[in-house]
Amino acid sequence: MSEAPYRESVLDVTGTSVSPDVVTPTLVVTPRVVVNPAVVVTPTLVVNPTLVSLTDVVKTYPGPLTVLKDVSVEIGAGEEAAIVGPSGSGKTTMLSIMGILDRPTSGQVRIDGMDAGSLPEADRAQLRAEVIGFVFQQFFLLPTLSAVENVAEGMLYQGIRRHVRRQKALEALDRVGLSSRAHHLPGQLSGGEQQRVAIARAIAGGPRLLFADEPTGALDQTSGHMVVDYLLQIASEGTTVVVITHDQGLASRFSRQISLLDGQIVADSAVAEGDS
Ligand code: ADP
Ligand code: MG
């Protein structure tokens, strides 16, 4: 039994029988008394690190129109979250800033601990290409390219060789259940299938972070539901997924909901009431 030597070493020091639970470090005579990691690991050590964060982000468009008003949020690696709010509440603006497509008027954007605001444009583009995938309401597929060619095209700027791009593209299509449609043109696919091709394109390069802006906005309910199934599946496989939607029902399928109203976060299911 593994506990026997432990008890003996305690007895060696004290001469009395002491329950291991109450042994203090001053009684420790051998390293093996304190090596059980299960005893020392606390939950705070296994919390996911922050992958993307906004701190006091303000966005003002010419007009002027202030669309984001002091938005602060942290999303951890491996999380799946929905940003939900009515049309015009600033969701797409928030995604553009989190995805470093656009710069805030003030405030900080961090991706994987890096201050994206302080990076030159070329580095921002590289960070975006390597770390982030995007899916939009309109699928933005090239009509003259097959599904696999559309997906492979998405990795053009990552310096991946052509035959590897094609291999990764086929794997990504397989992940969204479209292996049998790889050689179809977008016009030969249903809306839901086209959006799944767009998802494959977004994940083929292995991004850590996937953003989807109203991914079901152009789809009927059934194919929209299936698109969200795949997004949740991708999240369960380790990619951080952030979906933007005006649809409460869709948002409720994600484990975290962040509510945006008039440019401010008014609720966040990850923040307990009274925490903020
Ligand atoms: P949502 O995605 O929640 O519908 P948006 O972020 O797209 O909201 O837009 C929020 C507000 O900002 C809207 O009033 C919109 O008209 C305005 N807006 C968005 N983009 C721009 C822009 N590039 N220039 C000026 N106003 C913009
Ligand atoms: Mg929008």
CA distance from start to end of the chain: 49
d(CA 81, CA 77): 11
- Can you give the pLDDT at residue 75? 97
Q: Is the peptide bond before 49 cis (omega within 30 degrees of 0)?
A: no
User: Is the CB of residue 142 less than 8 Å from the CB of residue 156?
Assistant: no
* C-alpha separations of 243 from 101, 109, 265 in Å: 16, 18, 15
CA of 94, nearest ligand number:
1
User: What is the distance in A from the centroid of ligand 1 to the CA of 102?
Assistant: 12
User: Is the CB of residue 242 less than 8 Å from the CB of residue 73?
Assistant: no
User: What is the distance in A from the centroid of ligand 2 to the CA of 246?
Assistant: 8
206 residue type, one letter: G
67 residue type, one letter: V
DSSP letters of 128-147? HHHHEEEE-SS----TTS-H
Ligand 1, atom 14, lies closest to the CA of 88
CA of 62, nearest ligand number:
1
Ligand 1, atom 26, lies closest to the CA of 61
64 lines ligand 1 (CB under 6 A): no
- Can you give the pLDDT at residue 48? 67
- Can you give the pLDDT at residue 141? 97
d(CA 86, CA 262): 9
Question: Tell me: the pLDDT tens digits for 203-253?
Answer: 999 999 999 999 999 999 999 999 999 999 999 999 999 999 999 999 999
3 state SS of 19: coil
Name the nearest CA neighbour of 255 among 273, 276, 231, 275.
231
User: Is the CB of residue 242 less than 8 Å from the CB of residue 98?
Assistant: yes
Owner of token pair 């307990």 = 272
Q: Where are the strands (E) in 31-135, listed by range?
A: 50-61, 65-76, 80-84, 106-111, 114-115, 132-135
Task: Supply 228's token pair.
Answer: 């969200």
Ligand 1, atom 13, lies closest to the CA of 88
**Domain residue extents for the chain:** 3-45, 78-103+117-268
87 lines ligand 1 (CB under 6 A): yes
d(CA 82, CA 259): 8
Q: What letter does residue 48 receive in the DSSP assignment?
A: P
Alpha-helical runs (H) found in 161-215: 162-175, 191-203
Q: Is beta strand 256-261 parallel, antiparallel or unpaired with respect to 264-268?
A: antiparallel
DSSP letters of 227-248? HHHHHHHHHHTT-EEEEEES-H
- Can you give the pLDDT at residue 47? 55
- Can you give the pLDDT at residue 154? 83
* C-alpha separations of 108 from 54, 213, 241 in Å: 6, 21, 21
Q: To test ligand 1's pocket by mutation, which of 58, 60, 65 has the most ligand atoms within 8 angstroms of CB?
A: 65
CATH fit for domain 78-103+117-268, picks 3.40.50.300, 3.60.10.10, 3.30.360.10, 3.50.50.60: 3.40.50.300
* Tens-digit pLDDT string for the chain (276 aa): 343 333 333 333 333 333 434 333 433 333 334 445 455 545 444 456 999 999 999 999 999 999 999 999 999 999 999 999 999 999 999 999 999 999 999 999 999 989 998 899 999 999 998 999 999 999 999 999 999 999 999 888 777 889 999 999 999 999 999 999 999 999 999 999 999 999 999 999 999 999 999 999 999 999 999 999 999 999 999 999 999 999 999 999 999 999 999 999 999 999 865 554
